[in-house]
Every structure is written in C-alpha cells, then in structure tokens.
Amino acid sequence: MSLRKTILGISAFMALVCSAPALADAADGEKLFGQCLACHQIGESAKHLFGPKLNGMSNKPAGLAEDYVYSGSFKKAAQSGLKWDDESLDKFLEAPLDFIVGTKMAFPGVKSEESRASIIAYLKEFNENGERIKAVVEPKIIKPIVIEPRKLATEFVVPKHGVLHLGRRALDEEVVAWDIDIRPDGLGLPKGSGNAIDGSELYENHCASCHGSFGEGTVRWPVLAGGEDTLTEERPEKTVGSYWPYLSTVYDYIRRAMPFGNARSLSDDDVYAITAYILYLNDLEDEEFELTSENFTSIRMPNEENFTADNRHEESYRLTNNSEPCMNNCADIPARIIQRARVLDVTPDSE
C-alpha cells in the first residue's frame, strides 16, 4: 500500500471518528433529567411548574405548551420559526441563556455533549399525551472497580516541624474576590447607585419569572413584597418589607446569589437599582427613588427593632465561669420534656 493511500485512509478514519455523534442513552437521560425536575415535569400526570411540561416536544415548533406563559424572548424565538429538533435542543441545553437571550430558564446548561444527547433521547420517548412510547433500556452492568482504601489522617506521619506543605497562602486579590459580604453599617458596600425605574426593567428581566412582577412569588418561589402586619398571625408572610431587618441583607443576597442559575452576573449598579425597586414594591420608597452608596445606611427597615443583637457573651455563666459556657448541670432544676415533635406537629398544614 502506498504512503499516500495510507495517509488518506487514516484521514478518513479520523474524520469519521471526530464527526461521530455523541452516544445517547435514554436510561442515563432519565437520571440526568433529575436536575430538571425543579422546573419541568414529563409524563401522563405532568403539569406546568416554573417551566412548561415537556411532553411530545421533539420535532415540533417551540412554544406550543397550552396554558403556559412564555417569556417575551421565547415568544420571539418561536415566532421566528424555532423548532425543537436534536440540533436546537442540544444548543439550548448547552447554554440556554446564550441560545435565547432573556429566557426565563435561568439554568447554566449541561456541558457534557453525551449527557445532552441522553437527555434528548429521554425526552423523545414521550408523546403529546405523556405516554412513554419506547421501552426503558435496562441499565448497563458495570463491574465494580476495586480501590485500595485510603489512609486515615491519623496514619500519616506529621513532620517534626508540623508543616504539611498543603496548598498555599491566598493572594490578596483572591481574598478580595471572596470577601464581598456587606454589614448593616454599610461596611463592604461598593460605590454606585441605581434607581427604582431602571430597577423595574432589570427586575422584570432577571427576577420576575420566579418572584412575580410585583414580588408576589410564583409557584414555590419566595414572596418579596407585602405581608405587612402578618408577623403575629399563625402563618405570617415573611417578606423583605415585613420581616427583613436590614437593607444590607437584601443587597448582599442579590449581589451574591442572584439571578438564580446566573449568580454574580449583575453589576453593582444593577443591584442598587433592583434593591431600590424592591423597596418601591414594599411601599417603602417612591418610584423615582435612587439608592446610592451614600444614602444606603439611612434606610431603616420596618422590622429592624424586633431583631436583637447576640448578647450571649454577656450572660452570667460567661462572666462568672472564666468566660466558658456551661456544658453540664447548668439549670437549677432538672430538664423536663414538655411536648414531643410528633404531637406538636411541626410540619406546616398543606393548603
């Protein structure tokens, strides 16, 4: 065989291998679909949750789920001819926020091509009525890998100098990147500002899909507004306006953890604007209010006075017992069980 033919043969083989589609396993896809169950259901009893039910969607135009309210961005994509086939589903699952900018699906995506293929294979097994049209594939039998047990920490010999040389000291810039907490007195607040009008648009794009356009909450997501004078009721409505003691907690949480599935994507000014809008939703400020790093600490929340500082370090046992807490025989009288959880029924009543 000539060298030229050999090279061409190898090239053809490599092209075939590189272009081969990812292996799809519906049984694996069923397991992987567990990460989707918080927002989606599939099957004969499926219902709309935060996202639509996914019955019979394969090779169909997008946006056909009846009685489900899609985001404006998704509606535009559907009107432009988006169809759910293997290729479009794969791209959407890989990076939903990039495939449809502004979608309510605030999910970072599935990075593994094989995992995406398996999820798609699982979705294709359900028809429009939620009936499973293919038999479940039995899981593969994999021989267990024998691994020698790891040593316990007590089995390692510690050098005489006591240093194990594990890791390194954190760089100053690494500490700064993690040290983003904000105290009620304003320590840690970044410079910036934002108003409730701009916050309204930002909130609608990033928050309303979970918390509702007016902070009323959707499905199982938290309510952010309302609840005034309910804290003494049997089932109080604990919202930002009715319960939270400090505005710094609102800003810190939004900045650190929101939007859901895309945390740390908002600028500091965006967070100021959304925080200002949440104050407006709770009737604590007007719609033209601007929140800044300068006026931030002047905002007092209605329920602040009902929170007290942790003063356990001032209690008598700490002051009279070498500042160490009592760990046994601390009470003057024997402890007595007055009620058990199964009788008290700590589980909230279902609606």
Asked if pLDDT for residue 320 goes beyond 70, the answer is no
Tell me which of 30 and 319 has the higher pLDDT. Answer: 30
Structure confidence at residue 12 as a pLDDT band (50, 70, 90): very low
Asked if pLDDT for residue 3 goes beyond 80, the answer is no
Mean pLDDT computed over 251-270: 94
Tell me which of 2 and 33 has the higher pLDDT. Answer: 33
Nearest to 251 by CA among 205, 295, 306: 295
List the helix and strand counts (H, then E) for the chain. Answer: 13, 4
Nearest to 287 by CA among 273, 298, 297, 302: 273
What gap in Å lies between CA 88 and CA 123, rounded to an integer?
14
Is residue 62 within 8 Å of residue 78, measured between CB atoms? yes
Asked if pLDDT for residue 240 goes beyond 60, the answer is yes
Count CB-CB contacts under 10 A for residue 343.
7
Structure tokens at 79: 């009107």
Asked if pLDDT for residue 316 goes beyond 50, the answer is yes
Asked if pLDDT for residue 18 goes beyond 50, the answer is no
Quote the percentage of the chain above a pLDDT of 70.
83
pLDDT digits 0-9 by tens, 126-172 = 888 888 886 555 566 777 877 778 777 677 777 777 666 677 888 99
Is residue 64 within 8 Å of residue 154, measured between CB atoms? no
Tell me which of 97 and 204 has the higher pLDDT. Answer: 204
pLDDT digits 0-9 by tens, 187-209 = 999 999 999 999 999 999 999 98
Nearest to 182 by CA among 27, 325, 291: 291
Quote the percentage of the chain above a pLDDT of 90.
36
Asked if pLDDT for residue 306 goes beyond 80, the answer is yes
pLDDT at res. 278: 98
Asked if pLDDT for residue 299 goes beyond 50, the answer is yes
Tell me the pLDDT of the chain averaged across its residues: 83
Tell me which of 49 and 157 has the higher pLDDT. Answer: 49
Backbone angles phi, psi at 194, to 5 degrees: -170, 145
pLDDT at res. 324: 66
Nearest to 205 by CA among 139, 150, 259, 261: 259
Per-range mean pLDDT, top range of 65-69, 108-112, 237-241: 237-241
Cα 172 → chain centroid: 28
pLDDT at res. 340: 67
| 326-330 own/partner pairs: CB under 8 Å, 24+ apart | none
pLDDT digits 0-9 by tens, 98-126 = 888 888 777 778 888 998 998 999 889 88
Mean pLDDT computed over 239-254: 97
Tell me which of 313 and 272 has the higher pLDDT. Answer: 272
pLDDT at res. 13: 41
What gap in Å lies between CA 293 and CA 286, rounded to an integer?
18
Q: Cα 53–55–61 angle (5° rounding)?
A: 95
pLDDT at res. 7: 43
pLDDT at res. 308: 87
